[in-house]
Chains A and B, each alone.
Chain A
Amino acid sequence: MTDTAMKPHALSIENLSLEFPTYGGAVKALDGVTIQVGNAEIVGLVGESGCGKSVSTMAATRLLPEGRYRITQGSIRLFGRDPTVMSDEELQQVRGKLVSTIFQEPMNALNPTIRIGKQLVGVIRRHEAISRRAAETVASNILSDMLIPQPSRIMQAYPFELSGGMRQRVLIAMAFSCNPGLIIADEPTTALDVTVQAAILRLIQGRARRTGTSVVFISHNIAVVSQICDRLYIMYAGRIVESGPTRAVLDTPQHPYTRALLRCLPERVQPKAQLESIPGTVPNLIDPPAGCFYRPRCQEADERCYAKPQSTTLAGGQAVACWQRLKSQTPVSSEA
């Protein structure tokens, strides 16, 4: 075997089910989720709000509220290590160093009372045994890498003195500052306007490609993720409904939900035509519908859909969990 084959995946989530016990009953946030992120691979995780995108990745970084959730089946590996059994000390060393998260909402994601430079230096010196001066140089370099003009001036600034786009760049710089192997970008452009969005996407992609960093890019907008991702996972109500290489998923979407997501994109709609949104809402995860969770909203549903569709891998690496695809395509293999 070659070296790369020996190297564990950056992130490997296997058949993960997770629920939040609440007074109203258990919220089944994840139901048998499998996500693999290879080394230096950029992977997109797409789905409407509340589908479990954040929960999937936060389970891997253990950023979910401790004691308020339970994993009912499956496993998680970060570079081959199991985060669910790590001590607090181990977790703190892994976060920021091995895996960093860039969150949505740059409004409040930086501490309002600490200067930008000090926040960056704090993270760098947490993970690297270097002097304050050296850490400042690292911080300044990474800020210019994020196309921030006059990094030394920005480092003296407080977050409220910067625009939303600038703050998001600082957050990305912070995430990359200790050269992690994996970056989780959780809707990092959602709060920004479209022109800034595109620039931010290219920054993340550029830096990740140059440094060989793996990325999980989360968005509710399939157009955004498809710009930079090698592979896509489409998520619905706590399940992965479709996955595959970006081109294949976009060109030959298999799952009715994926098709619906694609129909909703403004750039695919004729000018003046009504912009579509998927009718209906994401189901209640305390008491989800039997069988395929998409059934109440699906136009192609039939009686088979009252049973849960298994994921089927198609030629070309695409996989889909939908009864309709079983007859129209030749399955290569069928997972249990």
Chain B
Amino acid sequence: MTIARIIVPRFILLFFVVFGVAIITFTISHLIPGDPARMIAGDRASAETLENVRRDLGLDRPVTDQFVIYVRNLVHGDLGTSLRTRRPVASDIATFLPATLELGCISLVLAVLIGIPLGVFSAIYKDGPIDQIARTISVCGISMPVFWFGMVVILLFYAKLQILPGSGRLAMQFASPQRVTGFFLIDTLLEGRFDAFLSAVRHLILPTFVLAFANLGVITRQIRASMLDVLQEDYIRTARASGLRRRAIIFNHALRNALIPSITLLGLAMGDLLYGAVLTETIFAWPGMGTYVVTSIQTLDFPAIMGFTVVASIGYVLINLLIDLAYMLADPQIREVG
């Protein structure tokens, strides 16, 4: 009942968002100077070839027709054909998206698993040594630009110490696993190739760490601040006056409430991952969506850019849905009243 009340508006919103994005991307693609048909056919193509390509692309039809076709294709999951790779954009994305998800998910889990305890202990031992360390870490995480930090760790661990690889998802000698989940950590294990799995792990360490670090800073700072707020609350005093154990008060009574304001932030962090991934992937030559879209932009591959934009906006709406569901789980007032 209440779940439906949360999910249904999100899906209606999803529809409008995708439609809006479609209008924008379509308009932009028609406003940019340059002729897509010529880009595909090449500079030296004859007028006849050009005409054929134009007809194939539907560019000879009225603009409104073209938009209808574009949207109809979108609905069927057809994002057009990449000018650069000559493959459907949808299948390009299907190839590159899992790499980004693998990087992003692991970074997020890392940031949450380290950030929450760090924030909690930072708040409990406010102004103590643990707090000082945690605050230093979070200031560094928040203020260090990803591209700079990425360069530094590559220089240190790859170039100087030579203990970790600095680019790609697997070492040269390993073939990519058959795509089942698209996550190399899982797919290599499914094939029983433990050495390839280890190589995938080693390749993940630096980029996930760099990507996690910024979010770790934000999460630690947020959890610390909301824990400090919650520990001032009357119900914490009630719990103390009832003789409850300190551990129970902190983890059962305080943290649960402190997490609620952090949910939005976690959602934002997930959004940030997409953007952070673009930088991180470029630095680490990680074959994901970030690398794909950067290359597409450099080569003016508009169908690819549009496809990426549509997928990214769907991602944002889904993240928002996830946040709403998380709120519902965490806050009974939203769950019971809606």
Contact = CB atoms under 8 A, between A and B. Distances in A.
Interface of A: 61, 63, 88, 91-97, 100-101, 103, 105, 107-115, 122-123, 126-127, 158, 160-161, 171, 174
A111 B331 CA distance: 11
A123 B333 contact: no
Contacts of A63: 237, 240-241
B235 A95 contact: no
Given A88-B246, A122-B244, A123-B242, A113 B332 contact: yes
Given A92-B246, A111-B239, 14 more contacts: A92-B243, A95-B240, A95-B242, A105-B234, A110-B238, A112-B333, A113-B256, A113-B260, A114-B256, A122-B248, A123-B242, A126-B245, A158-B333, A160-B333
Interface in B211-255: 233-235, 237-246, 248, 252-253
A246 to B, nearest CB: 26
B242 A103 contact: no
Contacts of B260: 113
Contacts of A160: 332-333
Contacts of A103: 234, 237-238, 241
B336 A111 contact: no
A93 B246 CA distance: 12
Contact of A113 (B238, B241, B246, B330): B330
Given A112-B332, A158-B333, A92 B241 contact: no
Contacts of B238: 103, 109-111, 171, 174
A86 to B, nearest CB: 12
Contact of B243 (A97, A109, A113, A114): A97
B257 interface: yes
Which secondary structure characterizes the binding site on chain B? helix
Contacts of A114: 252-253, 256
Contact of B242 (A100, A113, A158, A161): A100
A95 B241 contact: yes
B234 A108 contact: yes
B256 to A, nearest CB: 5
Contacts of A123: 242-244
Contacts of A61: 241
Nearest to A161: B336
A122 B253 CA distance: 11
Contacts of A97: 243
A159 to B, nearest CB: 8
A174 B333 CA distance: 22
A193 B57 CA distance: 75
Contacts of A100: 241-242
Interface centre among B256, B330, B332 (most CB of A within 10 A): B332
A91 B249 CA distance: 15
A43 to B, nearest CB: 19
B332 A93 contact: no
Contacts of B237: 63, 103, 109
22 contacts: A61-B241, A63-B237, A91-B243, A94-B243, A96-B243, A101-B241, A103-B238, A107-B234, A109-B234, A109-B235, A109-B237, A110-B235, A110-B238, A111-B253, A111-B257, A112-B257, A112-B332, A113-B256, A113-B257, A122-B242, A122-B244, A126-B243
A311 to B, nearest CB: 30
A92 B332 contact: no
A113 B253 CA distance: 8
B235 A112 contact: yes
B336 to A, nearest CB: 7
A96 B241 contact: yes
Contacts of B248: 122, 126
A115 B256 CA distance: 13
A158 B335 CA distance: 11
The 6 closest A-B pairs by CB, nearest first: A96-B243, A95-B243, A96-B242, A108-B234, A101-B241, A111-B235
Interface in B303-336: 330-333, 336
A101 B240 CA distance: 10
A158 B234 contact: no
Nearest to A186: B241
Interface centre among B244, B248, B253 (most CB of A within 10 A): B244
A218 B256 CA distance: 32
Contacts of B245: 92, 126
A240 B233 CA distance: 30
Nearest to B330: A113
Contacts of B333: 112, 158, 160
A246 B203 CA distance: 79
A187 B231 CA distance: 22
B103 to A, nearest CB: 33
A107 B240 CA distance: 17
Contacts of B246: 88, 92
A178 B92 CA distance: 66
A105 B233 CA distance: 11
A126 B244 contact: yes
Contacts of A161: 336
B163 to A, nearest CB: 45
A235 to B, nearest CB: 21
A95 B239 CA distance: 10
A88 B332 CA distance: 32
B123 to A, nearest CB: 15
Contacts of A105: 234
A147 B233 CA distance: 27
A94 B245 CA distance: 12
Nearest to B239: A111
B65 to A, nearest CB: 55
A110 B336 CA distance: 17
Contacts of B235: 108-112
Nearest to A92: B243
A93 B330 CA distance: 30
B285 to A, nearest CB: 45
A183 to B, nearest CB: 11
Contacts of B331: 113
Interface in B104-146: none
Contacts of A126: 242-245, 248
